[in-house]
Chains A and B, each alone.
Chain A
Amino acid sequence: MATVVPGLKIGKKIGNGHFGEVFLGQDSVHGEVAVKVLSRKSGQSDPEWDAHKKSFLAEAQNLSKARHANVVQVYSIEELPGGDSICFCMDYCLKGSLQSAYDAGPITMLEVRKVATEVCLGLDALHARGMLHRDIKPGNILLDANGVAKLGDFGLVTDNLILGYGSQVGYSDHIAYEVWQGEGTSARTDIWALGMTLYRLLHGKTWYELAPAPRDVVEHGRFADTLQWLPHIPKAWRRSIRKMLNDDKTQRYQSAHQVLNALSTLPTPLWATTTAQNLVRWEQLVGNRMRVIEWATHTPRKHEWKAWSEPLAAPGRKMTLGGSNGLISKKQAMRELEEFFSK
């Protein structure tokens, strides 16, 4: 362990971010903290690094002011001896980011709405201070020990980075249409990124990666119309997310406050969903029975689905609830499943 600033001890590495490595730390004032160390990239010239450093340090003043229950608090920012690294000392969020939950599969609508609501409360506070996040994505939403979502890594991305160097997978997928057209970022590009994040959380990594990457298609326009939805996602959710992803920024929700109102009316049927390459499975507990739906893809053109309920522990028999009449097309399977879920 090395002492970086008086009272701060850096421990084990707990993650890697776009901007550097993250370590667990012990701060004499705040106790357990996360310490992010941003280092000069190889090949970065002196003027480039100086410009980066200057913008990071300038942002530091804003970051330390952004106190909110749903924003990761930054306690201090220091330039390390030698001048090639900057060290951020911030809240340690015990449950980590939503990246691993997203990687594991679709998250329930109830959980996504809770996360989205908490993120909006934090985002609203940042926007009210004239700040932008610019990098909303599952990996930047952190859960504290109580499971409360907090926005992390805000203010670290600059317009230059988005327009010039945004290359990390996942990151450039969240760039809004107008930014691809050369406009700068705004509160409404944060809302686009939030919409993209919600879509990803509802569908999970496997489903998300079946479609062309947004970084390749958003700039061509009408991205929201190309989204492929899992059939259990209700129309109200689709409408809200499409609105966040509207090419015309004036047609999006204009503020986090408006998104909060939209979220409050969304239904949250509790389907636990798992997705694999050729099978999607939904489960829902109803009393002492489990409702199960399976959608199998035999070939790209041959699909099949079936739904049944089965007893959990008590004796009982399996009951068929519905299904496709043999092998059907993907389009028909989607349509039938959407109809089944909407009942």
Chain B
Amino acid sequence: MSKHRVGIVVVGERVTVVLAEVPDDETDHIIILSDSSWTIQQGDRGEALSVLHQRCQNFCEQHKVEMVVVKASALPQSGVRLAVLESAEVRGVVIAAVASRTKVKILSKAVISRTYGERKVDEYLKDNSFWDDKITGAKLKIASREAAMLIIASRAD
């Protein structure tokens, strides 16, 4: 048996969405089914977020997603700029939309580093052999590894 899981990372006005098939047997590779990026509509903010909300819901329904893992907001190391707050708005919409259709988990990079493996997340993201060992299926962009990492890190849930 396997289940469909999604990892979502919001950076600025871009939403990276990785859909994967996760086999129950943890020794099996995770199969990447799709790796896509959604851009937030320009113009009226309310309308743009409403479209994003609907896209998230559609995606969960169409792919019969069992769980979505969203990368948590984090405090920036330098001062908080408007773009950071706007990005958090987008994240909130994504979380609300997927939660209305399926189970959702919010996971921070710091928590993954503490609970998954022995290295920090950023080291895994750079390590090509780690990815060869963990995933198969459709092509995964290097920039999308962080979204896939959310799926890998919550595999046991």
B54-A125 in contact (CB<8A): no
Q: B26 interface residue, CB < 8 Å from A? A: no
Check A260–B43 contact: CB distance below 8 A.
no
Residues of chain B at interface, number, CB under 8 A: 17
Q: Mark A231-267, 1 if CB is under 8 A from B, else 0.
A: 0000000000000000000000000010011011111
CA distance A264 to B90 in the complex (A): 15
Is A302's beta carbon under 8 Å from chain B?
Answer: no
- The answer to whether B55 and A260 touch across the interface, beta carbons within 8 angstroms, is yes
Chain B residues in 8 Å Cβ range of A129: 62
Interface size class of A (residues with CB under 8 A): 20 to 34
The CA-CA distance from A257 to B41 in the complex, in Å, is 13
Say if the beta carbon of A213 comes within 8 Å of chain B: no
Interface flag for B47 (CB, 8 Å): yes
Write the chain B residue with the least CB distance to A256. B58
Q: Are B42 and A114 in contact (CB-based, < 8 A)?
A: no
Of the residues A124, A128, A260, A264, contact of B42 by C-beta under 8 Å: A264
Q: How far is the CA of A114 from the CA of B48 in the complex (A)?
A: 10
A269, chain B: closest CB distance, angstroms: 10
Confirm or deny: A110 has a beta carbon within 8 angstroms of a beta carbon on chain B.
yes
Does residue A334 face the partner (Cβ distance < 8 Å to B)? Answer: no
> Is B37 among interface residues, defined by CB-CB distance under 8 A?
yes
Within 8 A of A (CB), among B3-55: 36-43, 47-48, 51, 54-55
Bound: A113/B51 CA distance, A: 11
Interface residues of B (CB under 8 A from A): 36-43, 47-48, 51, 54-55, 58, 61-63
24 pairs, A vs B, C-beta closer than 8 Å: A68-B58, A110-B43, A113-B41, A114-B47, A117-B41, A117-B51, A121-B51, A121-B54, A121-B55, A124-B62, A125-B62, A128-B62, A128-B63, A129-B62, A257-B36, A261-B38, A263-B41, A264-B38, A264-B42, A264-B48, A265-B42, A266-B42, A267-B42, A268-B42
Report, nearest first, the 10 A-B pairs whose CB atoms are least far apart: A128-B62, A264-B41, A264-B39, A261-B39, A268-B43, A121-B54, A117-B51, A125-B58, A121-B58, A265-B39
